[in-house]
Each structure stands twice: as structure tokens, then as C-alpha cells.
Amino acid sequence: MGSIYIDPTPGQIEKLTTTAIADALKNLIENKHVFGSVNIDLIKVNSLISEKVKQYDKQEREEQKEQFESHSKRVLSGEWLLQHDFLEELTIPHEKALGRGGPFAFKKTVIQLPTVKLSCKCDNAIWPHNSGYKAIKGELLHYTKFTDLKQGGVVQIFSVPYQCQSCKRHPVIFFIRKEKGKEHYRLRIVGRSEFESVYCPKQLPQEEQKFYQEAIVAFHGGKTLAGIFFLRTFVEQYIRRILNKYGREPGEVLAKDYAKLLPDDFPSTRVTSIATIYEELSVCIHSAKAKDEQFEKSRNDIETHFKYLDLFPLSENTATS
Ligand SMILES: [Zn+2]
């Protein structure tokens, strides 16, 4: 009797789908903010399937493709269990069936949470964060599940703790929803246990950094006009401190006075002036129209100004005299 050939493809497809989910989680936590989402990108899964169906006759290919895709869909649409770094022993073998009713019934997929890089309050720096934390109890992270009222299918909401490797302070807990879009499965941050800590370029003056950080938090939370207001507050409070003027002088006048303090070799033609930055932000505030592009431009202009100021500083007797 010849040996029975078992096609390894279904297992490979499931494994690649699981990797795609872990990659999407990493992208989501590192780069998105509250209510931001990412699609689960199946590019590697789809290219494996396209490669595999080439072995079949033309008339069989479509059917095989659907067959292969069903393995990926089962992982995406089924329940997931998230495994964190502090789990001492995984009691459920990876990709093995759980529950009652035979090996393929009620199958749940175990996904190892990735290590991510996040800004931490401990050192105004980006640090690796581990999933879970030392004191965590329980084997796998908890979740709630329910049926999506519009799209159908199971929605899961996970609570996912991440702890800074450097300071090991109390972890930030993310609430992440898995949802089914029209074409893709998506992951979305639907909440977090504390406001994000914003990395602040070291050149920005410490006295006003809090306004810059408030601006970024507002912007990431979708409140661009508030973000623009905080950016202008940052600029205005900085020039007031430098000029030591706290009266009713308008910001436009202060910005022009400030420009006179820059050293002669300051590359003013290459750097947007503080007066222009102040004016562009004011236009948005007066019209109550805030564009994301303006926020990004002004933020970039501010950072550039201070980067150059580090190289061409104001003379000693002008600053905070
Ligand atoms: Zn830390």
C-alpha cells in the first residue's frame, strides 16, 4: 500500500493567515490611534494560493481556489484567542481544535501577540513593549464576542495589555475590536486605558512641550481644530516667554519681534518663519476650518524651526532675559 498524500497547503494557509493577523495587530498598536483601524492584509496568503492552484487543471482551479480560501476565511471568521508573552505554558496546542464536537468543530485560533514599539512616559522615548505583564493571571486574554447587527458574523473585542520593557510600569490596556468589513476583516482600537504618551523631539523647548503633546493627542483623537489651537498656543507661549511679554500684544506682532532675535546666519529662506506658522494656524482658528494637511505642515514647520535653532541659537542675552 502506498502512503496517503496529505496536502500541507491548508496548514500553510492557516499559519500565514495567523501571521497576517499578528502583523496587523502590530501595525494597529504602533501606528494607529483611538478609533483608527487597519485591514488584515492577505497578500502573502493570496500569493501562496495562486501558486498552489497552478498545479491543477484549468477547469479545477476555480474550485480549488475557493477550497484553499475557505481555510483562510475559517481563521478570520472564527474565534481567536490571544496569547501574551507572560503566559507560562500554553495549554492549547497551536492551531489545534478546541471545544466539543470533533476536531474541526468550534475551532479557535491562537494568535501570539507581537512585541510592539510605543512611546512611554518613562523617558520621552520609544521603547519595546511586551504583551501581558508579570502579574497577569489567566492563560489567555479575555474577550467578549457578539454578532454584528449590520454585517452579520462574529465580532470580538479583546482587552490587550502592553507593558514597557524599560520601566515595567503598569501596562496600557488597549481595547481592540475585530470586525468584518465589506471586503476585508479589520482591526480597530476602540479604547485605551490612558491617553497615549507622545514622543516629543528633544529640540522643542521643555517649558512649552506640554502644548505640543496636547496638540498631537487631540489630532490623533480626530480633533484637528483643537490640535491646531494647541499648536498655536505652543508657538505663542514660546515667543512670549522669549520676549518676556505677557500683555495684550497680538501674536503677529510678537512673531515679528521674535524674528529680529534670530542670528544673522539663521537659514531664514529655507525655514518657514514663526510669523507664517502663527498666521497659518490663526487662519484655521478664525474660520473654524481645520485641515489635517495644515496640522501636519505646521507641526513639521515647528519641528524644523527648532532643529535649526539648535544649530543657530538665539544669543544668550535674548533668551528668557
Ligand atoms: Zn517606560
Distance CA 99, CA 104 (A): 9
At 42, the pLDDT band (50, 70, 90 cuts) reads very high
Distance from residue 134's CA to the centre of ligand 1 (Å): 15
Q: How confident is the model at residue 2 (pLDDT cuts 50, 70, 90)?
A: low
Q: How far apart are the CA of 39 and the centre of ligand 1, in A?
A: 29
The residue among 199 and 286 whose pLDDT is bigger is 286
Section 101-107 average pLDDT:
46
Residue 92's region, left for phi above 0, alpha for psi from -120 to 50, else beta, is beta
**12 CA distance to ligand 1 middle (Å):** 37
Residues that place a CB less than 5 A from ion ligand 1: 120, 122, 164, 166-167
Q: Tell me: pLDDT of 304 over 50.
A: yes
Nearest to 113 by CA among 25, 15, 16, 20: 25
Tell me how far the alpha carbon of residue 130 lies from the centroid of ligand 1, in angstroms.
11
- How far, in Å, is the centroid of ligand 1 from the Cα of 310? 27
Which domains does the chain possess? 9-192 (no CATH), 206-311 (1.20.120)
Q: Residue 140 — pLDDT band, cuts 50, 70, 90?
A: low
pLDDT in tens, 72-102: 999 998 889 888 888 765 555 544 444 434 4
Grade residue 149 by pLDDT with cuts at 50, 70 and 90: confident
In the reported structure, the alpha carbon of residue 124 is separated from the centroid of ligand 1 by a whole-number distance in angstroms of: 9
Quick check: 216 pLDDT over 90? yes
Give the pLDDT of residue 101: 40
CA dihedral 3, 4, 9, 14 (to 10 degrees): -110
Q: How close is the Cα of 201 to the center of ligand 1, in Å?
A: 17
| pLDDT range class, residue 321, cuts 50, 70, 90 | very low
Tens-place pLDDT, residues 243-254:
999 999 999 999
Average pLDDT, stretch 291-301?
96
Residue 229 Cα to ligand 1 midpoint, Å, equals 29
Determine the distance separating the centroid of ligand 1 and the alpha carbon of 132, expressed in angstroms: 14
